[in-house]
Structure 1
């Protein structure tokens, strides 16, 4: 890359669209407002970009600037199979927290040496981008950025081959595609090395052969499936990339010293459970289990009542404390669903670790935790009681409030947010069926706002709660001061809910009701009765 192109690395990217085109015809296209990436799986002919002609064949990629004119001239009978990826590129404006469209970069012409790896990422981007789930769409944008980084790293002309980087690339590939048919030859091709040289370099850097490392990844994913699902050993084996359940059982016992069934029983009947996230702790408490060890702080008041739980950290787990506690099982929850962090891998050295995917809904989290600790029946009964309770309260709220809309506002240290359909919103808008103010339906989790923004929601009622309260006394005082300043604000006083006296307070509860867990949601049902059915507004 030249100096101008190097700046492209520092931009922010937002995936706009991805299309898969299969056609044998020549075509002409005028791109307008977005940068465009073309990746050719098959194709033979020429491509003309803004009057410049480039040879076209498989495994080539082209970057087009916004507004670039593009024509494809395919050889007669030659198939064309390519992807069109449009995206927005932004750069810092020079002002704090403000970005502007980046300058046009392109055209670029690339021969992609690690094409199969890129195509696997493209397929994942396409699949997740076209899903209805906002989390899948968010993941599509993350994978898209990873793909761009991979392209930039591999095509930089002034960058010498880096063995460490090549091996790391194959590590990421194995983490993401462990269930597929992966061979040493495929990995060495991806790394751009001969198979023997790749294996030597891999073992020198990682300490084991590529296929041994792949087996470890597959075993770890199988461990998760064994305790989080009721799938058969055959299904788990295939899902983790093993050819059959018998080969899987042999490999599993060789790696863990136990058969798959013995491993499950050891975990399911363990009394020494360490919970590293408040949302998992809440589920355990709802099931009648006080964790053996946990992250404990005042942000989530439930943990303050523990009498026998060992504290392994206040915000993040302390590895030395966790190791000293010597739990039999570690429960954690992470954003990623394909690659473990270095810290997670260290947890595995302390005790068997189950990582619950963050983006699942709370009921799925709750049932997963119940399955792990052998309390499936108790979880079913708990959820039945919860649904009955929520329906009863919902009916009373509809009778009193009718169609009045309720806005959930979080107050923090010099920050304010509107909560959407997760956390508090999943109870109020989902389970209790309260009306959302216009605009809240577009907020998945929360949106930071100013007091001026609140008027746009035009809410009939407002519930005030905390936003990013970490449990210390200084923060408690700061949030109280922020609430007082809010009430003195002329913009606040003009709001419809304020003028009608329909503001309800629970800022003093820290994150007792805003944690995304079964226990918090059950407590929030009770709190809602106090807030909205007993006229306790101020």
Structure 2
């Protein structure tokens, strides 16, 4: 057991890349091949035997097998019996001296799994997302695969079945992610390895509600977001969150909220008591002419400190007690993972209806979503028309000065440097204004921290200096100033093409006024770019 423990601890240090997943549900009774990658086989239904590198294993339902690259695989199903299984191919790599090298998992061929139903459903979700045309769905497929690998190896390592509390947590997670599907108490009980009655009692003791009451709460909360953010009919929304029809949905919704779906939407859209938990959403509200009722306020994003009537609910993160005291009608926020709510966000839902926008959505979609929430869709459309007109006018002005020259955006932090990519300032400079990126920047989605020595690898004709990870304090102002001065004094800085040509533009003392990924900051950045480049106001002092 000690050997297995050490082996799986080593597995935890590897990185895993999903390549292919195939769901085989036909009557295939035999196959023989060599595994070109790691191969994971999850058998939902089967009878017969599987032979991996000459090792024979009995084959029946709810079995999981792992084959390393190069292993020979042979599957023989009993006559007259069909198979139903997932075949997943993936790669494993290990970090070694600033590079990654392939590794083969030296593990048991058969993996002991306590909760097969959970893994089977996870495999189904992975397959759907990997087949999607949406690149973000394919990214999520690989994230879900990491979760599957984690569960597989942890379950295999345990000598005994997981505790009842662990199995209940798995069903809670399952409901959070599969609320739109047909979920029954019996299915959840099977996943937990309990009888239906015992599962219900254990669930209610842990959560305070029955499993189906908890599932209804999840569905109602998801419906609240769809009601506010989409123009879909009640029938479409009802089906999308797992209700059989719109009439049953309306009854459940009114029982949970005290309002019909239509009354709920009207209350939200005409409310002035909106709490914004993220600067980028606050910026959208301000662009629409709305000072939020409550917001996170700090000097890192100077716009927020100009508010006169906004209730401060935290400096850098929302304070739950202050948020509760403010009693907003609606909370808006965004998270990195739009498919999984954090525990804190679930608490937000207890304070007021909470709309969560995916962090990686385009800023225009964020802006239009916020406008839809506050009933200002027309105003948002007019704002975007004005923005596009200004962007085109600025692009022509800047193009006459810059031509085909490249522009690099460098962020200066307390003890770090970064290259900004195609998000934040990049969405304006590289997107709206169509400035050329230096080689390598196209690969950076958000930002990439670098060493001063790596700057030469992005040697651009022009450089825009801004801040990186500024917390809004005077101490950070001073730390960034010292970091900048040290950079400017270095030989490697003075040798850069933009520095030698006197084409460095300095806005790092503006904190995150221009770097925030929001409509307001982008509009301000257009004006600032016109001022800096249009008048060619680079910083010869930085030479």
Counterpart mapping for 1:150-189 below 5 A: 150-189=151-190
Distance 2:530 2:509 in 1: 17
Q: Confirm or deny: 8 A CA contact 1:47 1:56 kept in the other structure.
A: yes
Match of 1:26 among 28, 31, 38: 31
Distance 1:407 1:116 in 2: 50
Of 341-350 and 463-472, the range deviating more from structure 2: 341-350
Please say if 1:90 is aligned against 2:91.
Answer: no
User: 1:386 Cα shift?
Assistant: 0.6
Q: Aligned to 1:169, what secondary structure does the other structure show?
A: helix
User: 1:158 Cα shift?
Assistant: 1.7
Of 435-444 and 376-385, the range deviating more from structure 2: 435-444
Aligned to 1:267: 268
Aligned to 1:351: 352
Distance 2:433 2:62 in 1: 53
Please say if 1:533 is aligned against 2:534.
Answer: yes
Of 333-342 and 376-385, the range deviating more from structure 2: 333-342
Of 40-49 and 479-488, the range deviating more from structure 2: 40-49
Of 289-298 and 458-467, the range deviating more from structure 2: 458-467
Q: 1:16 to 1:322 in 2, by over 3 A?
A: same
Distance 2:193 2:366 in 1: 41
User: 1:42 Cα shift?
Assistant: 5.2
Distance 1:16 1:243 in 2: 35
Distance 2:492 2:18 in 1: 36
Distance 1:138 1:275 in 2: 28
Distance 2:509 2:384 in 1: 28
Q: Aligned to 2:21, what secondary structure does the other structure show?
A: strand
Q: Aligned to 1:26, what secondary structure does the other structure show?
A: strand
Aligned to 1:212: 213
Distance 1:492 1:55 in 2: 66
Distance 2:135 2:462 in 1: 27
Aligned to 2:40: 37
Distance 1:35 1:415 in 2: 39
Counterpart mapping for 1:59-70 below 5 A: 59-65=62-68, 67-70=69-72
Counterpart mapping for 1:240-389 below 5 A: 240-389=241-390
Q: Aligned to 1:407, what secondary structure does the other structure show?
A: strand
Q: Aligned to 1:71, what secondary structure does the other structure show?
A: strand
Please say if 1:519 is aligned against 2:524.
Answer: no
Which segments of 5 or more consecutive residues in structure 2 lack a partner in the other structure?
none
Aligned to 2:51: 48
Of 397-406 and 499-508, the range deviating more from structure 2: 397-406
Q: 1:135 to 1:477 in 2, by over 3 A?
A: farther
Aligned to 1:221: 222
Distance 1:282 1:54 in 2: 60
Q: Aligned to 2:275, what secondary structure does the other structure show?
A: strand
Q: 1:135 to 1:469 in 2, by over 3 A?
A: farther
User: 1:113 Cα shift?
Assistant: 4.9
Q: Confirm or deny: 8 A CA contact 1:64 1:105 kept in the other structure.
A: no
Over residues 218-242 of structure 1, what are the superposed CA-to-partner deviations in whole Å (9 max), with x where a residue is unaligned?
0000001011111110111001100
Please say if 1:493 is aligned against 2:498.
Answer: no
Distance 1:324 1:157 in 2: 45
Distance 2:49 2:72 in 1: 11
Give the total of aligned pairs.
Answer: 532
User: 1:133 Cα shift?
Assistant: 5.4
Q: 1:44 to 1:8 in 2, by over 3 A?
A: farther
Aligned to 1:404: 405
Q: Confirm or deny: 8 A CA contact 2:117 2:190 kept in the other structure.
A: no
Distance 1:167 1:21 in 2: 27
Q: Aligned to 1:403, what secondary structure does the other structure show?
A: coil
Which segments of 5 or more consecutive residues in structure 1 lack a partner in the other structure?
none
Over residues 292-311 of structure 1, what are the superposed CA-to-partner deviations in whole Å (9 max), with x where a residue is unaligned?
11100000010111111111
After TM superposition, what 4+ stretches of structure 1 lie above 4 angstroms from structure 2?
Answer: 21-25, 41-45, 76-81, 97-103, 129-134
Aligned to 1:73: 75
Q: Confirm or deny: 8 A CA contact 2:391 2:432 kept in the other structure.
A: yes
Distance 2:206 2:398 in 1: 62
Q: 1:324 to 1:476 in 2, by over 3 A?
A: same
Q: 1:21 to 1:139 in 2, by over 3 A?
A: closer
Distance 2:232 2:522 in 1: 29
Q: 1:44 to 1:502 in 2, by over 3 A?
A: farther
Q: Confirm or deny: 8 A CA contact 1:24 1:80 kept in the other structure.
A: no
Of 279-288 and 420-429, the range deviating more from structure 2: 420-429
Supply the RMSD in Å over aligned alpha carbons: 2.3
Q: 1:295 to 1:439 in 2, by over 3 A?
A: same
Of 363-372 and 315-324, the range deviating more from structure 2: 315-324
Aligned to 1:11: 13
Of 131-140 and 359-368, the range deviating more from structure 2: 131-140
Distance 2:275 2:356 in 1: 12
Over residues 277-306 of structure 1, what are the superposed CA-to-partner deviations in whole Å (9 max), with x where a residue is unaligned?
101100000000001111000000101111
Distance 1:182 1:105 in 2: 37
Q: Aligned to 2:9, what secondary structure does the other structure show?
A: helix
Q: 1:130 to 1:13 in 2, by over 3 A?
A: farther
Distance 2:7 2:487 in 1: 47
User: 1:136 Cα shift?
Assistant: 3.5
